[in-house]
Chain A
């Protein structure tokens, strides 16, 4: 469903390409992992897919085809119909990615306001239902809160709720579990798996944490300095890494897991 062909992105204020020729595909219903060190170009790749590159600040080439439509070169009006409706994005920093002066509930239901004819009451009910799905306690209360009144983890779940409320066919998740503690992280992963089964959502899941990627993703891609250095079935990449960099990443997985593997 999503095909990236030779994506290049270079910011004018830097002399190195942030993304230097990336190609891969995400099939229907697939959860694709994307790992790599800080600054390797994961977020820039995701933003390119979402049609959210700051176009004036960079030069870009290649193609990003979502069911045949080129998102990289689409104009704002075409993108607007896709945004939120067909592509949902969960951004890396939940606190700054939320409007500080808008109630969390209104941000969660905004996609419904923009893409459906639902009434305010219907939207509210749906938002509360979705907040409940991401396992936030007291969703009615959360609905009325402002972002500064919630913790980082709660906000991240609210962000996920906002992205999935309309069930887009592609979800871009930029480190959605980094700010969360381990138990909540596990809950979120379960939720994402459930959504994936429930309506066949495709996902691009960006993470630093290889363990998480391993639990969730069927396929994984590894990025280093703007390049895709390795790609394949998750288990294959883990047991038989080809690239030096991937080997180092796997070697760096926290010890608790290594011990498990040794047994």
Chain B
């Protein structure tokens, strides 16, 4: 319990640092937002008036505090290019990208864990070579390419979904989820391949350990050795790997959202970077960072439940 509290405190501290860095960095890069909004032709008086109105003359720390608070109150400033409150712009997209990521992640876990265990059980068997070949193929195909293939097959040819017409998540959740499923598959394929390979090699490595010999000496069959003894030992590195996966799904999702024309956070991010819409970029950066740090924290908490030795671990 103490460990969990410490781990969560660390998560919050990390987020404060990340958000501070993001805020300061964009404060420097973005130059004067008042000039950006009014254009270079505006008179200095007008710009000064707007600066005062936007609160830009106050000290950095005060503005940072107010902005950070905005993640809880929804007041994150105004988008330059859409002239809308940033939060209003981001909120629906957060939902879409979250759904996309969660579906992808569930696919990865549900498929790769049984498959990894199986491929370890039958390692060296007749189908092992074929499995490895398929696995390597899966790893080599980038999500945007499978994305294009899936779009062609299921949208252009079979019309299972209409490319470019993403149903609104709140109005037609079933339709939206179906649309997202195709994108999730293309995100999941390479990560499934990687997780299977990693789980297989971890299990085979554990099989060489002394405690396995002890388990056999007590009369365990292969299944008993694998499920009662080895699997739990093989899980810790896999959980850590899955946390990285969770982070990378979001990065991979940016491209896939483009391919499938999904109006998610990724597309908004790309558009906002192109438009130098810094308030939007800034907020998205912090949200993505939170997602990554959260995944790492959850993985650590799970691992600490699996392996009691980690409870002793000092800082981790």
Q: Which residues of A contact B (CB under 8 A)?
A: 50, 52, 76-77, 80-85, 87-89, 91, 93, 96-102, 107, 110-111, 114-115, 146, 148-149, 162
* 17 examples of A-B residue contacts, CB within 8 angstroms: A50-B217, A52-B213, A52-B217, A76-B222, A77-B221, A82-B219, A83-B217, A85-B219, A97-B210, A99-B229, A101-B232, A102-B229, A110-B220, A110-B228, A114-B220, A146-B308, A162-B218
Known contacts being A97-B211, A101-B307, A102-B229, is A76 close to B221, with CB within 8 Å?
Answer: yes
Whole-angstrom distance between the alpha carbons of A41 and B128 in the complex?
35
Q: Which residues of the other chain, B, contact A96 by a CB distance below 8 angstroms?
A: 209-211
List the B residue with the shortest CB-CB distance to A103: B308
- Asked if A98 contacts B211 (CB within 8 A), the reply is yes
- B68: shortest Cβ distance to chain A, in Å? 40
B309: interface (CB < 8 Å): yes
- A133: shortest Cβ distance to chain B, in Å? 18
Q: Which residues of the other chain, B, contact A76 by a CB distance below 8 angstroms?
A: 221-222
B98: interface (CB < 8 Å): no
Contact pattern, B 79-115, Cβ under 8 Å of A = 1, otherwise 0: 0000000000000000000000000000000000000
Task: Please name 17 further chain A to chain B contacts, defined as beta carbons within 8 Å, in addition to the given A82-B219, A101-B233, sorted by A numbering.
Answer: A76-B222, A84-B217, A87-B217, A89-B214, A91-B217, A96-B210, A99-B214, A99-B233, A100-B307, A101-B308, A102-B232, A110-B220, A114-B218, A115-B219, A146-B308, A148-B309, A149-B308
- Asked if A83 contacts B219 (CB within 8 A), the reply is yes
Q: Which residues of the other chain, B, contact A84 by a CB distance below 8 angstroms?
A: 217-219
Whole-angstrom distance between the alpha carbons of A7 and B210 in the complex?
23
Whole-angstrom distance between the alpha carbons of A111 and B224 in the complex?
12
Whole-angstrom distance between the alpha carbons of A80 and B218 in the complex?
8
Q: Which residues of the other chain, A, contact B232 by a CB distance below 8 angstroms?
A: 101-102
B216: interface (CB < 8 Å): yes
- Asked if B218 contacts A110 (CB within 8 A), the reply is yes
- B215: shortest Cβ distance to chain A, in Å? 7
Q: Which residues of B contact A (CB under 8 A)?
A: 209-211, 213-222, 224, 228-229, 232-233, 306-309
Q: Which residues of the other chain, B, contact A146 by a CB distance below 8 angstroms?
A: 308-309
Contact of A99 (CB < 8 Å), options: B215, B217, B308: B215
Whole-angstrom distance between the alpha carbons of A162 and B233 in the complex?
21
- The listed residue with most B CB atoms (<10 A of its CB), out of A76, A99, A115, A148, is A99
- Asked if A81 contacts B211 (CB within 8 A), the reply is no
Q: Which residues of the other chain, B, contact A99 by a CB distance below 8 angstroms?
A: 211, 214-215, 229, 233
Contact of A114 (CB < 8 Å), options: B211, B222, B224, B308: B224
8 A-B pairs with least C-beta separation = A84-B219, A84-B218, A83-B219, A96-B210, A89-B217, A99-B211, A114-B219, A97-B214
Known contacts being A97-B210, A98-B214, is A81 close to B309, with CB within 8 Å?
Answer: no
List the B residue with the shortest CB-CB distance to A88: B217
Whole-angstrom distance between the alpha carbons of A84 and B214 in the complex?
10
Known contacts being A76-B221, A114-B224, is A100 close to B210, with CB within 8 Å?
Answer: no
Whole-angstrom distance between the alpha carbons of A96 and B209 in the complex?
8
- Asked if A101 contacts B214 (CB within 8 A), the reply is no
- A112: shortest Cβ distance to chain B, in Å? 10
- A11: shortest Cβ distance to chain B, in Å? 15
Whole-angstrom distance between the alpha carbons of A149 and B309 in the complex?
9
Whole-angstrom distance between the alpha carbons of A238 and B224 in the complex?
45
List the A residue with the shortest CB-CB distance to B224: A114
Whole-angstrom distance between the alpha carbons of A101 and B228 in the complex?
10
- B81: shortest Cβ distance to chain A, in Å? 53
Known contacts being A99-B214, A100-B211, is A81 close to B219, with CB within 8 Å?
Answer: yes
Contact of A91 (CB < 8 Å), options: B213, B221, B233, B307: B213
List the A residue with the shortest CB-CB distance to B222: A76
Q: Which residues of the other chain, B, contact A91 by a CB distance below 8 angstroms?
A: 210, 213-214, 217
Q: Which residues of the other chain, B, contact A148 by a CB distance below 8 angstroms?
A: 308-309
List the A residue with the shortest CB-CB distance to B230: A99
Whole-angstrom distance between the alpha carbons of A148 and B308 in the complex?
9
- B214: shortest Cβ distance to chain A, in Å? 5
Whole-angstrom distance between the alpha carbons of A107 and B215 in the complex?
9
Contact of A100 (CB < 8 Å), options: B216, B221, B309: B309
- B237: shortest Cβ distance to chain A, in Å? 13
List the B residue with the shortest CB-CB distance to A85: B219
Contact of A111 (CB < 8 Å), options: B218, B229, B306: B218
Whole-angstrom distance between the alpha carbons of A115 and B228 in the complex?
15
- B239: shortest Cβ distance to chain A, in Å? 13
- B313: shortest Cβ distance to chain A, in Å? 12
Q: Which residues of the other chain, B, contact A97 by a CB distance below 8 angstroms?
A: 210-211, 213-214
Whole-angstrom distance between the alpha carbons of A83 and B229 in the complex?
17
- Asked if A80 contacts B219 (CB within 8 A), the reply is yes
List the A residue with the shortest CB-CB distance to B220: A114
Whole-angstrom distance between the alpha carbons of A83 and B220 in the complex?
8
- A89: shortest Cβ distance to chain B, in Å? 4
- A63: shortest Cβ distance to chain B, in Å? 20
- A164: shortest Cβ distance to chain B, in Å? 12
Q: Which residues of the other chain, A, contact B219 by a CB distance below 8 angstroms?
A: 80-85, 111, 114-115
Whole-angstrom distance between the alpha carbons of A99 and B217 in the complex?
13
